[in-house]
Structure 1
Amino acid sequence: MTGADEALRDLAKAYGVHLGFHDLQGHEHAAAPETLRALLGGMGVAADTPAAVAEALEQLRVRQDESPVPSEILARAGAPLSLPVPSPCDWMLLDESGAEVQAGRAGESIDLGPMDVGYFTLHVAAPDRHAESLVLAAPAHAPTVQDLTGRAKGWGVCGALYGLRSGHNGGLGSYGDLPAALRALAQAGAQFFGLNPIHALGWTAEEMTSPYSPTHRGFFSTDHIAPRAGLGPTPRDELIDYATYRRRQRGALHSEYLRFEAAPEAERRAFQRFRAEGGARLDTFAQFEALSALHGEDFRNWPDALRRPGPDAARAAAEDVEFHQWLQWRAETQIDAAQATAREAGMDFGLYLDLAVGARPGGAEVWMHRDTIAQGVTIGAPPDHLNPEGQSWNLAAHAPARLRAAQYRPLRAMLRKLMAKAGILRVDHALGLLRSFWIPDDGSPGGYVSQPFESLLAVIAIEAARARCLVVGEDLGLVPDGFRETLNGAGLLSYAVWQYETAADGTLCDPKDLRAFSLACFGTHDTPTLRGFWYGQDIDWWQRMGWLNSGQTRARHDERARQRAGLRDMCHLPPEAGPDRIAEAVQARLCTAPSALVALQLDDLLGCLEAQNLPGTVTEHPNWRRRLPVAVDGLKQALPASRIRAFMPVDRSGTV
């Protein structure tokens, strides 16, 4: 290895780029020099030549030597903190509004008194230097089930919002359908209703159906807005026709907006307050949506002058900005009404929302935050036994150093918006808080980049404490040692999917062995339903896709037969038990888990066979298109409280 190679590796390590990784088989993959250069370039660090690498290393050294305090400080809210300094200095601590909360003269250390939960800026001034640090004053942990309810355990139901049927949604489940669904679930004893992500997909993203590929995660999908006049009953078809629905629903919303000038004065004032409170962030998002109607959903194809927010973009979008602000107001008003209904019906948590991993590279979130987004890379997964070439999820990544320099404001705003609407927030692919796999656009092999894990957890805990919101971290996959312990220590529940929790022989473990500080479920939108699992529907799909040959298919069906036999014994199921009896027994057994939360799938409660999503497919499987077999006004009869409550054991504190 040459000196230039070693310097490149040193620079990569300084910026958190991993020098290699181990795959599922334990084989090591060393990061090639082109990977290191591409990932550094994505962060805005020039590393194309030895001279550029040397200059970047020198800049790092100078910044470290010149600053008397770290650029970021993690503190425990309510506790004092002492920071050593190399020489006497004056210091001042400001809160988020810029008001001074503490100040002093330091000799050998800056001694900060107890701080409230929140974000602070520490200014340090010495004769020869000045520095500024972000102070993250986090609570001991994010709120727990016990903190929020006074009980040790709780349970709820997860389902697809888009799949709800009603007499008025016209084809796609709407925010207006949620109150009826929430009341029915609350009557059955559920404490939450978990939804697929409801992030904004983009007004002009007419072909987009995946809720995990949003244009911006800090705004809401307009597809689910219920027009006041309604759109008629959901079609009888099992699959959603998004194109037909969107034409009807968007036309109805346009017409409603044109009549809004005649709306009651109280409504018009409420909308103006919403616009004022949304501020520049709402203005800029609405500008993007308006511009997308003129130039397409991907801003990378727009005229050069419009590829960044600014005066040119504001002028070009001006005519339709208010319409897109109005859409967000309508969405948030209906979501808030649904959450209010859940609380009134007695739900401890109500809505359980989902935070996707990232946003589309050509979407609003990237357009609005170019200063923090990594350029020339997307988030993905490394090569493994299922995908020898690896996967690109076509989602943008925030560059760690840039996000830190922006004091995590994009993440803070996003979390604050979502947590204000829900009692629980699920963080998809929580492993991304520790490290993410970046795929360079130039074709170089991908590699891992470390994230500021402790700082991100502090931001989540701060926002969760302020909103009194429970947080679940979806921690499936290759989990590094100590990750779950750190996640749980910050107050985030883990995610325990029973059909993935197996013994050495492949049989499912007893739910009593599932992790206590977790949300336990039998499956998710990405797995087979309970009925599909029992009958091997997922295995048949894999064979249909060509992912399994005949021998592999037989082997998987043999393993599934052993799993069924184990479940029969565990759940005391007789050989003649039918599908409904099997489903009830398995769900009842799941509810014996010691987990803080248990989630039942609405698809399973209604006896559905097919899964909502088949990972690794786009058009080959009808992902995100399956409707539920029962309308929301029929859920009360389809989910009798007496039957569901029979699943739920009473814990020592009396929780059902």
Structure 2
Amino acid sequence: MNSDDKLRLLAQEWGIQMEYDGWCGHRQVCEPPTLRALLSALGIEAHSDAAVSDALRAHRAAVSARHLPHEHVALAGASVEIAAPSACEWHVLDAEGNEVQAGRGETEITLQALPVGYFTLVVESADWSEEVFILSRPEATPDIAALTGTRTGWGVSGALYALRSASNGGLGNYSDLASAMGVLGQSGALFFGINPIHALGWAANDTISPYSPSHRGFLNIDHIAAEGGLGPTPVDTLVDYVGFRARHRMALEAEYERFERGAAPISTSAFRSFCEREGAELTQFASFETTSERHGSDFRDWPAHLRNPSGPKAGPRGMFHKWLQWQAKTQIESAQKAAREGGMALGLYLDLAVGARPGGAEVWMHQDIVAHGVSIGAPPDHLSPGGQSWTLAAYAPNKLSQNRYEPIRSLLSKLMARAGIVRIDHVLGLMRSFWVPDDGSPGGYVKQPFDSLLAVVAIEAWRNRCLVVGEDLGLVPPGFRERLNNSGLYSYAVWQYETEGDGLPPAQHMRPFSMTCFGTHDTPTIHGFWRGRDIEWWRKLGWLTAEQAEANHGSRAQQRNSLRQHCNVPPSATQGDIRKAIHTGLAQSPAALATVQLDDVFGCEDSQNLPGTINEHPNWRRRLPVAVEDFATSPAIAETGALMAPTRGTPAVDINREPDTCLT
């Protein structure tokens, strides 16, 4: 066996995919430089032929020495059977370390039915002892019928930062969110979807993308509604983040000083309880934020002794950053409560971003689990023909498994506790993740522990009674969507990405077990789609030649013609007529969930984001033309509700039924 063959064998044993089907059917093969870079990211030495041979021997020896699997996914409410190589005694511990079962086996370990949750099986034999991490998952995540009593529903999505109001000072906040959801709920919407609200970092003053967070387990403080307000949103159509943050943070500092001087006992007690519940994780995050104020937002540039979480201490300033998280959490929970009380059955629909920035708090806190030297990305596809490197950190699957998925469990638990729906961005990452090496080598796919990650999603969703949508766009392997749907995760169907011949299909062809929409923040709006604004942007940026742009406009004309036919759009239709026809199609589709964008409701032309750009396009900055105070009297919102509500919301089940006792 030559050295390259050994390298390929080692890579395969660590879950690296040797080849994959690329865009337009081209077969892509991972060459040795990519394999070495991906193995290094997993913590496997493969820089030389000798290192590859040593790593291969060590891995096989470790596999041979193991008597039981490292982890086991079980179905809650059903008995669990695990083969044992010899007679042994065993006991099961719950997440708090309490013994819940014990027994003895000869050739098999048989556990009684377990409830939903995480458990440790401790096994002892005459000459060996091992632990097995057990993920006891429900059969499926909650669906719309279980949570709302209806078979279908609809909602609205929009950018939180884009909301205008009489007091937010320039950036939509959590108070605006509550106001918006109140009106939309009265129009019949079950949910309101917003951009991720993960923490961007106090010192990351230039970071504006909600998909480039510092830590996904903590909250974006830019959206905290300042006491007394900051005045009306400026008339400008684009957000000035730097100017807003200067005013906003000065107001937050002053508010915290007032809190310290004269907080009511009940507020002091609530804040103290929050800090105690969040524990060491909050303290570490506050330490990062405090240190970043002096040394910058990227911990990789900090003095060496501070680059490890055991180095810096939060100090008195850390209490301010804890208080900010408490304020954000309190305001989000108030918004969700107001939405539910106002008739919005699901309320908040939140996104889980793909990953965190390499120099941010999440990576700093979990350096021993992160894959170093790579970024999460995507191969070339219809979203970005040149491929994408998202400059986001990936967790190494082998290290994540060793740590029992704790970071992911924590992220999902916090997010799902605040929302009625969570959308997992790029859900394909549960099965395989495309890693782009920092050394310039081409990227490749790394296998993920799909069954275990899917179990974690199901457990946390069941615990929090949260509906889950998997954003399954792009290059999806055969059978992947079926696995998601069988576990209760809804697919994500973007109408303008669906194809049928040379055009788009009728809305009646949308997948029933999905959330459907015409577009997203990454796509042109209805108005922009109709005019080919995205094509013109691609041409302007040099991504298309004039001839290619002309061909794309020709394809777009065919798509428009198919929509005219399916939606009965006459040649003389106005943009308002087109918007109404497409929303009517969404309302009548068989998809369980349908979403309309606020940008479309208000007839906006330009998109919120153009994938593959940073400064070339005004990403994450466009404001809505209508203030939240005017939502209640907006003809566009009233018209949208009148279109969507009558055809969606058929009663299905009794939502007050008791859960299965075997799962509790």
State the TM-score, normalized to the length of structure 1.
0.97
Change (3 A) 1:13 1:160: same
2:330 matched to 1:359?
A: no
Deviation at 1:101, TM superposition (A): 0.6
SS of the residue corresponding to residue 312 of structure 2 reads: helix
Q: Deviations over 1:132-153 (max 9, x none)?
A: 1110000001111112122211
Residue 126 of structure 2: aligned partner: 127
Structure-2 separation of matches of 1:34 and 1:549: 33
Change (3 A) 1:388 1:192: closer
SS of the residue corresponding to residue 228 of structure 1 reads: coil
User: What code does the residue aligned with 2:618 have?
Assistant: P
Picking from 389, 394, 408, the partner of 2:391 is: 394
Change (3 A) 1:642 1:552: closer
Aligned residues: 650
Query: How is 1:437-456 mapped onto 2 (pairs within 5 angstroms)?
Result: 437-456=434-453
Q: Deviations over 1:7-51 (max 9, x none)?
A: 221211111011122211222222122211111111111122333
Deviation at 1:190, TM superposition (A): 0.3
User: What code does the residue aligned with 2:513 have?
Assistant: F
Structure-2 separation of matches of 1:121 and 1:367: 28
CA contact (8 A) 2:422 2:468 kept: yes
**What is the alpha-carbon root mean square deviation over aligned residues?**
1.5
Change (3 A) 1:191 1:245: same
User: What code does the residue aligned with 2:372 have?
Assistant: Q
Moved more, 261-270 or 464-473: 261-270
Structure-2 separation of matches of 1:392 and 1:612: 20
Deviation at 1:574, TM superposition (A): 2.5
Picking from 610, 627, 633, the partner of 2:623 is: 627
Consecutive unaligned residues in structure 1, runs of 5 or more = none
SS of the residue corresponding to residue 397 of structure 1 reads: strand
Deviation at 1:63, TM superposition (A): 2.4
Deviation at 1:640, TM superposition (A): 4.6
Query: How is 1:534-573 mapped onto 2 (pairs within 5 angstroms)?
Result: 534-573=530-569
Change (3 A) 1:527 1:93: same
Residue 235 of structure 1: aligned partner: 234
CA contact (8 A) 2:376 2:434 kept: yes
Structure-2 separation of matches of 1:536 and 1:67: 58
User: What code does the residue aligned with 1:258 have?
Assistant: E
Deviation at 1:103, TM superposition (A): 0.8
Query: How is 1:43-58 mapped onto 2 (pairs within 5 angstroms)?
Result: 43-58=42-57
User: What code does the residue aligned with 1:106 have?
Assistant: G
State the TM-score, normalized to the length of structure 2.
0.96
Change (3 A) 1:510 1:397: same
Q: Deviations over 1:517-537 (max 9, x none)?
A: 100000000000011111212
User: What code does the residue aligned with 2:346 have?
Assistant: F
Residue 520 of structure 1: aligned partner: 516
CA contact (8 A) 2:150 2:649 kept: no
2:589 matched to 1:593?
A: yes
Structure-2 separation of matches of 1:635 and 1:651: 22
CA contact (8 A) 1:584 1:647 kept: no
Residue 659 of structure 2: aligned partner: none
Deviation at 1:637, TM superposition (A): 1.3
Residue 600 of structure 2: aligned partner: 604
Change (3 A) 1:381 1:646: closer
Moved more, 86-95 or 32-41: 32-41
Structure-2 separation of matches of 1:138 and 1:531: 44
CA contact (8 A) 1:588 1:648 kept: no
SS of the residue corresponding to residue 313 of structure 1 reads: coil
Residue 609 of structure 2: aligned partner: 613
2:579 matched to 1:580?
A: no
Deviation at 1:85, TM superposition (A): 0.7
Structure-2 separation of matches of 1:150 and 1:67: 47
Structure-2 separation of matches of 1:346 and 1:355: 25
SS of the residue corresponding to residue 396 of structure 1 reads: strand
Moved more, 277-286 or 62-71: 62-71
Structure-2 separation of matches of 1:579 and 1:626: 20
Residue 90 of structure 1: aligned partner: 89
Residue 143 of structure 2: aligned partner: 144
Deviation at 1:503, TM superposition (A): 1.0
Moved more, 78-87 or 52-61: 52-61
CA contact (8 A) 1:67 1:129 kept: no
SS of the residue corresponding to residue 343 of structure 1 reads: helix
Query: How is 1:108-119 mapped onto 2 (pairs within 5 angstroms)?
Result: 108-119=107-118
Moved more, 441-450 or 151-160: 441-450
Residue 490 of structure 1: aligned partner: 487
Change (3 A) 1:642 1:375: closer
Structure-1 separation of matches of 2:52 and 2:485: 38
Moved more, 546-555 or 170-179: 546-555
Residue 28 of structure 1: aligned partner: 27
2:171 matched to 1:175?
A: no
Change (3 A) 1:652 1:376: closer
Structure-2 separation of matches of 1:640 and 1:106: 64
Query: How is 1:164-203 mapped onto 2 (pairs within 5 angstroms)?
Result: 164-203=163-202
User: What code does the residue aligned with 1:408 have?
Assistant: Y
Structure-2 separation of matches of 1:126 and 1:643: 66
Residue 657 of structure 2: aligned partner: none
Residue 300 of structure 2: aligned partner: 300
Deviation at 1:460, TM superposition (A): 0.2
User: What code does the residue aligned with 1:26 have?
Assistant: G
Moved more, 254-263 or 277-286: 254-263
Deviation at 1:563, TM superposition (A): 2.1
